[in-house]
Every structure is written in C-alpha cells, then in structure tokens.
Chain A
Amino acid sequence: MSGALIILATLGTSLFTAVMIFLLPERAFRARTGLNLGAALVKLGLVAWMVWGLSRGREYTLAFPVLEGLAFVLRTDSLGIMFAGLSSLLWLFTTVYAIGYLEDSPNRKRFFGFFSLCVASTLGISLAGNLFTLLVFYELLTLSTYPLVVHRGTAKALAAGKVYLRFTLPAGLVLMIGMVALHALAGDIRFGQQEILAELAPGRRPLLVGIFWVLIVGFGVKAALVPLHGWLPRAMVAPAPVSALLHAVAVVKAGAFGIVRLVYDIYGVELSAELGLLHGLVAVASVTILYGSLRALAQQELKPRLAYSTVSQVSYIVLGIGLFGPLGTIAALSHLLHQGLMKSTLFFCAGNYAEELGIHRIDELDGAGRRMPLTSLAFSVGALGMIGVPPVVGFLSKWYLGTGAIQADMPWVIVVLLASSLLNAAYFLPILGRLWFRPGPDHGVGEWPAERRPVRLETLAWLLVPAVATALFSLMAGVLAGMPFSPLEWTTRVVNTEYLP
C-alpha cells in the first residue's frame, strides 16, 4: 500500500465511522457498537503497521497545496506516530467504556458521532506535518468536543460548554495569528525543518520570541497551563468517558503535543535555548505543577480532584521540554504517553464508582475496595503511578525529569518535583486509605448513595475491562520499559534523532 493511501485510510477510518454513525438511526445499537469497535481495531492495526514500517525506515506522506506556498501535509514521524498510537489505543478502551457507560441514555448517536470526529481530529493532530495542518485539526477538535461537553444538556453542562468555548475559541484565534505571523516571516515550515528559523537574520530574533509566546498562549489553553486552565475543572460535568478522553488523550494532550512540536520541530531545541525560551517554560510549568496540586488537595469531590491533578501532571511534559538536554526530552515525551494511560485509568474508575455506587464525593468512598476490588485495584495502580511509586510508569517520568534537571543544571527543579510528589501523595493516599482500610457499607457501616444491582462481575464488563486494561498497560509499560516498542524505548529513539545529527 502506498504511503499516502495508508495515512488517508487511518484518518478516514474515524471520519467514515463518524459519518456512518450520523447516518444510522438512533436505535441501531448493535450496528453502531460493531462499527465503533471494528473501526477502533482497524485503526489500531493501521497505526501498528505504520509503527512497524517506520521502524524499518519507511516514510508515509500525504501532501497537497491549499494556497500558494502553503500545503496541507500529513506525515508520519516517530514523534507523531507515538501520539497516534496512544490515541488509537485509548480510543479502543474509551469506546468500549463509553458503550457500557451510556447504556440506555438518550442521544447516543450524537455522542458517538462526535466522539469519532474527536478521535479523527486527534489523529490528524498527531500526523500533521506542518503548523497549518495542525491548526486545522486543532480547531476541529474544539468543535467536535463541544457537543461532548454539553452532552447532558443540563444547565450546568451548558454553562461548562460556554466556559470551554470562551477559553478555546480565542485561544485558537491567537494560535492562528501566531501561525500566520510565522508564515509571513518564514514561509511554510514543515515539522523537522528547524534550520529555517535558526538561519533567520539575527534582527528577527525579538520577533521570533514574541511569536513563540503568542503560540504558547494558544497551545497553553488546551494544555491547561496556569492561568489558562479555568475550563478544565468546569468541563468535569461531561460524561466519564469524555473526561477520560479529554484529560488523557485528546484536548490537553493536543495542547502539550503542540508545544512539543513547536519547541522541537519548528524552533529547534538549540534555538529555543539560545533565545532563552526554555527558562520561561520551566517557570510556567513549575507554577502550574504546584498550583494544580494545591488546588487538587482542596477538592472534596473525586472528579474535580482528578481534574486539578491533570492540570499539574500535564505540566510535567512542559517541564521536561524546558529542561535542555536529552534526559529532559525523554521525560517529556514518555510522560505524554504515561500520563495518558494512568489518567484514563483513574477516570474510568471514577466513572465506575459513580455508575455502580453513585459515589461522587471522596468521603463516600469508604470501604469501596471490598465492594469493587478490581476497580479499586486499578485505581490504586493509577494513583501510585501518579505519585511516582515504582514499578508503575509514573516513576520513570519523574526519574528522568530529576536527572534531566541535573543535566540542564537546574537543581531547583528537583525541589519542585519533590514538593509536587509530596502533594500528589497527600491527595491520592487518603483516597487509597478510604478505599482499602476504612469500613464501609459492605462492612455494615452506612450505605452507598445509589447502588445499582451488580451483574455477574462487580460492575458491567464494558466498564470494568477498560479500567483494568489501562491499569495493566501502565504497569507493564513500567516493568517492561526496556523492551522494544515500549513507550520509553520509542521516546529514546525519537530523542536520539532530535539531539544526534
């Protein structure tokens, strides 16, 4: 199969699914489920094929001109395919989860249609070959997530949707202006052509710095950098699979991935360091990490606590980018994957508690470990990973961040890391304590807020399997970090191409 065709097929799988779902009637539950799962598997297979091809030196490119001197480019490189792999894998699990979660609720056709569109945009972002293409899918992502955020149609959901748009639409606009300015300055820059900006006349350097920060503001809203993070906790009203998707793969990761692309593939890490941009990033990231953790500590409900934890965790990626040197980069890129796995586990579990037992507040979790052991086990894996306990993958991220900080000669970052780890422990350990060591309704103390009668397992298999699977993946990615095609191994490969000429 030719290179362009396979890229088109990968992107088309999700788009086609979206269109087909919109065409199917609301009641065609089986056809829709089959379509969803089939498409997710096909896409995973296609991405795996591209990973394999890429590792053997093949290139997949699809490009055509849109304007004079500006092209629409889809291209695989090791960085993009990494993100594509993550999104395809998590799409599969999230789809399975969503099918179970939305059982018997109205508007499922609309939900799954936009869900597929959202995944198509994420894939487009990961395969984009220049900033223009990235922007196209980045905005498409905004549009396709809005119906998911307001899906419930309640006043609260609509208000959250409004806040979401108030943050993301202006951000998209700012991003566009930055990109147009960069385009006017240097023409169409494909990802990987760092030399274009590096060879620009020194007189243009201040302009480059300005454009950089404009673009960071544009990406920073989706990446939830403080003070642009306000939409993320509000968007919690969305259904749990949407939260998992929003937090783990699609939206925040799109922002973080954009920053990765900007620093490594447009400006180039040497130029960024020369212009002093990286120090700014480290500062912003540190503030965000600490602020997010502190706010998470103050939350009484489970999902908002996880949301603020996302604010803090995503900035580890930005922090890693800011640490000049291979180790920091490894930390940033691998955390992009690791955080996705762990955070989707946590959100799946939170959704399970809410669906099965009606639990929303943290103090209602007492003794839930006995009632839902597998879910609680998965949650514990995710939480321990977030704190950074080996052998879960979160440990690897923090380890590389710490060593990267020393390599970049910024030892004070280790203090930030330690403080944030302590805070992580402070807001996750009490939850684990309640889950496992407090007596709850199953020990005869009190009762669950709204218990649903279980089927054979502790909850629906549709809900349980994805949570356990992602937990297993985050465990395995840590234990088997040295194996080929593990996230860490792959990022090391990416970093080698970035730093070695």
Chain B
Amino acid sequence: MSASLDALLCVQTTVLWLALLAPSLLGLWAWRFPPQRMLPVLLAGLPLPLATLWLLHRVSVGGEFEGAWSPGGLLLHWRLDGLAGLLLLLTQLLLLASATYAVGHRRATTLAECAFAGFWPLLGGLAAALGLIWVAADLLILYAALELMGLCAVGMMLLPGKGEALVAGMRYLLYALVGSLAWLLGVALLLGSSGRLDLAGLAATTEPGPVTGIAMALLATGLLLKAAIFPLHGWLAPVHASAWPSVSALHGALVVKASFFILMQLWQRLMPEAVAAAWLLGLLGSLAVLWGGLQAWRASDLKQMVAWSTVGQLGYLMLAFPLLAGTSVAVATLAWQATWLQLAGHALAKAAMFMAAGNLVLSAGESRLTGLAGASRRLPLPLMTFGIAAVTLMGLPPSAGFTAKWLLLQAAILAGQWLWVAVLMAGTLLAAAYVFRVLRCAFVETAPCHEVRPLPAGMDLMALLLALGALGLGLGAEWPLALLREGGRP
C-alpha cells in the first residue's frame, strides 16, 4: 500500500519537474527553429496545463506534497500546494496564449528575424523562473528564480530594439538590479540571524524583532520595486510603451505578480502579526490605486493607459496585508481568497487587454485614443475583447474582479476597516472613468474611415479567450477557491 503511494508521489514529483522545466527546453528548440504557425505552438504547449491539472487533482485528493534536493551540500526545498498549483496553471495558460499570439504577431507585421527567434528562449526562461517561484520553499531558489525572471523580462522588453524601448529597458534593468540587491541584503540579515534559508525553518526560528523588521523592510523594498508598487512604479509605464503586446501581456499579468507573491509568502511566515507595517503596505496600495487610476485616466496613448491601470490594480492586492494582519479568522480567510482571485482575474484580463490593445493599435496603425474613433464599426472584435477585459478591471459582474471585490468588501466591512471600502469605491470609479474613455472614443461616428490592416484570426481569438476566462472565473470561482481554502495559507 505504502509502496504504491510512494510510487505515486515519485510520479507526481517527476511530472511537476517536467512541467516546470519543459518550457525552457521548448524555448531552446524554438530558438533554433522559430515556429511559423500557431497550431504547432498550441499543441506543443497544451500538455503542460493538462499535467498541472492532474497535479492539482492529486493535491486536492492527497494534500500538498513537498521535497528537497541537495546539489553540493546545499539543501533546496520546494512544495506544491493548492495555491502554487493554481498559479502554475494560470502561468502555463498565459504563456501558451502569449506564445500563440507572438506567432500571429510575427505573421501580421515584419519583425526582425533574430529578435523573433530570441523571444523563445527568453519565454522559456521566464516560464521556468515563474514556475520555480510558485513552488519554491527556499530563499535561495527564490533568489535565483527572481533574478532569472527579471533578466528574462528585461530581455523581452528590449526585443523591439527601438530607442525609447532601449532607454526604458535600461531603466528597468537598473531598478531590477538594485531591487535584487536590496532583497539579497535582507536575505543576508535573515541568514545571519537564524542561519537558515528554507521558509518553514525561518518561520519556526525567526522571532519578531528589529533585525527581522529591518530584513523584512529590505526584502519588501526590493520586491515592491520589482512589483512596481507605488511609489516605486516609475519604470513600469515607459517599459510598456514600445514592447510587443505578447511581452507586455506576460509582464503585466505575471511578472509583477510574482514579486507580490513572494512578498506575501515571506510576510505570512516572518511577521504575520505586524499590524502597523501591514497598514503601511495597505496605504501604499491605496495610493497606488488612486495614482495609477488617475494616470491611466490622463493617458493619451492606449498602451500607456493599460500599463498605468496595472499600477492601480496592483494596489488592490496590497490591501490584503492589513486585512490579514491581526484580524479574525473569518476576515483573513475572505481576504486570502479575494487576493488570489483578484490576482488571477487581473492576470487574465490584463493579458487580454494588452493583446486587444495591441490588436487595435496594429490594425488601426494609431496608438492614440483619438485614433480609435469609430473603432466599434471597423474593429468590433478587438474592441469587444477590450470591453470584456475592462469589465474585470472595473470589477463589474459577472467577472473575477467583481467576485474578488465582493470578498474584499466583505472582509473590510467585517473587520471594520472602512478606509479600504472607500479605496475600492474610488478605484472602481476611476477604472470606469479610464475604460469608458476608450470605449467612448470607439463609438464616435463622425470619424473618417481609415484603412484597417487585417490580422490573423488567432490573435483576436487568443485575446478573446483570455478575456472570457476572466469573465468566467467570476461565477466559476468555487473550484479554485475551494482548493485555496484547503491549503496554501501558512
């Protein structure tokens, strides 16, 4: 009996590591032979989410599983729980969509051959890094994966090779490097005070105190910088200005979220009761919501608007900290579910929105909002996709954003923290303001009729599927949330 269980565990571990590392191999393969059609990419990538689904099923049946390997005297820990599995699934789906979209993008426009080939190994590296971040239970793996992710992301942003992209990419690179040094310093302090790197061990041995506080502050600074949380968000919007839509989609959907995920993991283990610090993070998040929303409202360029809206939406995630610290179990459970639902919904919707915006810009040949006049007639499908994705961003039903907002509101009201209710209201109205600015432009009838460049159908379809996914997650939230409730919260 136990032998068969052991064998099953062994199979699970193998499947997990295959699912984690296969994307980088595929990426290297595609570097050598860049794909020309969408279908092979889709077929090559499809087994990965299926494998993750099976793993999730195993997790829901047998609980989380963990392990460690030891290269050269080091002991590196990992574990797969419901949350990590769900995020892995989300990552794989988004990467698949982005890869497929990229092939279409290449067919629709003239991209430099070598830049397009270079996209694939970077994508593979990003996939591996993200997967490692979700399953890591060890600061060393987290550090390596975080750096790999940051460098791959910078590399992808630089692919267009235009002047503006280079400046923005350089700024991003410098910020990311300094952020990782702040993180490393925090790790050094933790290692110096407790002598361990695995998260479970740290949680057991670390006591709240000035050293832990300072270490956490440094770690948080590094991560907030990488997650573009107000006021460390300055690099985000310019980076997206000239990046490819497939890259922007991945970046806005996953890369910034990964840093948030790490911060949440560390916070929950090292200082779950630090109320004042949690409130500080919550206040930063509130300011992010307001400032990001205002800037998105003011933006005159479609992609800039979408990028600024990322700054605002990330702020919602930060509200989790004050709602988790020192509150009742009911409130914490609600806030915990709300956060991950919001993260997933926003990831899907933001990827869809970047792709839809990319389609609009590519087809219309115009990136300013005013250039979109009459788009509802000329480009109904991308606009519809944009609108559906916007429903999630505004948190209107029936979308994941709405369900997450419901949970957050309920948590805030139960905890009596009315400030966050006001922030959520303001954020929603601001989101509606900037989204409807775009949709409003599209309804103008007096616009002259420009030529519209046709795009491969797959590009529109990918964006639409992601947007519908964000919508469907709103009412179909029970399955992932049930997985979250069972495990994941340390």
| A–B touching in complex (CB under 8 Å) | yes
Could you list which residues of chain A lie within 8 angstroms of chain B, going by C-beta atoms? 22, 64-68, 70, 72, 106-107, 109-110, 132, 135-137, 139-140, 142-143, 146-147, 150-154, 157-158, 161-162, 165, 169-170, 172-173, 176-177, 180-181, 183-184
Stretch at the interface among B88-96, B103-111, B146-154, B425-433: B425-433
Q: Is the CB of B440 within 8 A of A162?
A: yes
CA A177 to CA B440, docked complex, whole Å? 27
Contacts of A165 in B (CB 8 A): 432, 436
Least distance between A242 CB and chain B CB atoms (Å): 14
Q: Are B478 and A153 in contact (CB under 8 A)?
A: no
The answer to whether A176 and B443 have CB atoms under 8 Å apart is no
Q: Which residue of A lies closest to B414 (CB)?
A: A184
* Bound Cα distance A142, B439 (Å): 14
Q: Is B443 a contact partner of A64 (Cβ separation < 8 A)?
A: no
The reply to whether the CB of B446 lies closer than 8 angstroms to some CB of chain A is: yes
Out of B413, B414, B475, which one reaches A72, CB within 8 Å? B475
B20 part of interface (Cβ distance < 8 Å): no
Residues of B within 8 A of A157 (CB): 443
Inter-chain residue pair count (beta carbon < 8 A)? 94
A27 to chain B, nearest CB (A): 13
Q: How far is the CA of A180 from the CA of B403 in the complex (A)?
A: 11
Chain B residues with CB below 8 A from A110, complex form: 376-377, 380
Instruction: Determine if B391 is an interface residue (Cβ-Cβ < 8 Å).
Output: yes
Cα distance A68–B406 in the bound complex, in angstroms = 12
> Given A147-B443, A153-B443, are A67 and B429 neighbors across the interface (CB < 8 Å)?
no
- Who on chain B is nearest to A70 by CB? B406
Rounded to whole angstroms, the CA-CA distance of A140 and B414 in the bound complex is 27
Q: How far is the CA of A177 from the CA of B425 in the complex (A)?
A: 9
Known A150-B440, A150-B443, A153-B443; contact A173-B425, beta-carbon cutoff 8 A: yes
Determine if A66 and B396 form an interchain contact, defined as CB atoms under 8 angstroms apart: no
> Can you report 15 residue pairs joining A to B where beta carbons are below 8 Å apart?
A66-B474, A66-B477, A67-B477, A106-B445, A135-B397, A139-B402, A143-B396, A152-B445, A153-B374, A153-B445, A154-B446, A173-B425, A177-B421, A177-B425, A184-B413
Of B398, B429, B445, the contact of A136 (CB 8 Å cutoff)? B398
Q: Are B409 and A176 in contact (CB under 8 A)?
A: yes
Question: Are A154 and B407 interface neighbours, CB within 8 A?
Answer: no
Is B384 in contact with chain A by the CB < 8 A criterion?
A: yes
Question: In the complex, how many angstroms separate the beta carbon of A118 from the nearest chain B beta carbon?
Answer: 15
Beta-carbon nearest neighbor of A158 in chain B: B440
Complex Cα distance A16/B402, Å? 23
CB distance from B386 to the nearest CB of A (A): 13
What does the 1/0 interface line of B439-453 toward A look like (CB < 8 Å)?
110011110000000
Nearest CB of chain A from residue B3's CB, rounded to whole Å: 38
Which single residue of chain B is at the shortest CB-CB distance from A110?
B376
For residue B477, which residue of chain A has the nearest CB?
A: A66
Of all chain A residues, the one with the shortest Cβ separation from B445 is A153
B298, CB-defined interface residue at 8 Å = no
Q: Is B51 an interface residue (CB 8 A)?
A: no
Chain A residues with Cβ under 8 A from B446's Cβ? 153-154
Question: Chain B residue with minimal CB distance to A135?
Answer: B397
Distance between B373 CB and nearest chain A CB, rounded to angstroms: 9
Which 10 A-B residue pairs are closest in the complex by CB-CB distance?
Answer: A153-B445, A136-B397, A180-B409, A150-B443, A139-B396, A139-B397, A184-B413, A65-B478, A136-B398, A169-B432
**List of A residues within 8 angstroms of B425 by Cβ:** 173, 177
Cβ of A152 to closest chain B Cβ, rounded Å: 7
Extra contacts, 16 of them, besides A139-B397, A173-B429 (Cβ < 8 A), are A67-B337, A67-B407, A67-B478, A106-B445, A110-B380, A136-B397, A136-B475, A139-B396, A139-B402, A146-B436, A151-B443, A153-B446, A161-B440, A161-B443, A177-B413, A177-B421
Taken together as a complex, chains A and B put the C-alpha atoms of A177 and B402 apart, in Å, by 12
B409 nearest CB across to chain A (Å): 4
Q: Tell whether, in the assembled complex, residue A66 and residue B475 are in contact, meaning their CB atoms are under 8 Å apart.
A: yes
Chain A residues with CB below 8 A from B440, complex form? 150, 158, 161-162
Q: Which residues of A contact B398 (CB under 8 A)?
A: 136, 140
Asked whether B327 is an interface residue with its Cβ less than 8 Å from the other chain, the reply is: no
Q: Is the CB of A183 within 8 A of B380?
A: no
- A72-B475, A180-B413 as given contacts; A67 in contact with B445, CB under 8 Å: no
Q: Are A184 and B445 in contact (CB under 8 A)?
A: no
Asked whether B377 lies within 8 Å of A176 as measured between CB atoms, the reply is no
Contacts of B421 in A (CB 8 A): 177
Q: Give A165 to B440 CA distance when docked, in angstroms.
A: 11
| Minimal beta-carbon separation of B105 from chain A (angstroms) | 24
Question: Which residues of chain B are near A136, meaning CB under 8 Å?
Answer: 397-398, 402, 475
CB-CB under 8 A from B13, the residues of chain A are none
Give the docked Cα–Cα distance between A154 and B373 (Å). Answer: 12
Q: How far is the CA of A183 from the CA of B334 in the complex (A)?
A: 13
How far is B475's CA from A151's CA once the two chains are assembled, in angstroms?
29
One of B403, B410, B429, B478 near A184 (C-beta < 8 A): B410
Residues on the A chain within 8 Å of B337, using CB: 67-68
Picked from B428, B478, B485, the residue with its CB within 8 Å of the CB of A173 is B428
Q: Does B481 contact A (CB under 8 A)?
A: yes
Residues on B with beta carbons closer than 8 Å to the beta carbon of A181: 413
* Nearest-Cβ distance from residue A172 to partner chain B, whole angstroms: 7
> Given known contacts A158-B440, A161-B440, is B429 in contact with A183 (CB within 8 Å)?
no
- C-beta contact mask, B459-490 vs A, less than 8 Å → 1, else 0? 00000000000000011011001000100000
Closest beta carbon of chain B to A113's beta carbon, Å: 9
Asked whether, in the complex, the Cβ of B406 is within 8 Å of the Cβ of A140, the reply is no
- A487 vs chain B, min Cβ distance (A): 30
Interchain CB contact under 8 A, A67 and B481? yes
Q: How far is the CA of A67 from the CA of B432 in the complex (A)?
A: 25
Q: How far is the CA of A74 from the CA of B425 in the complex (A)?
A: 28
Q: What's the least CB distance linking B429 to chain A, in Å?
A: 6
Residue from B374, B432, B445, B477 with most neighbouring chain A CB atoms (10 Å): B445
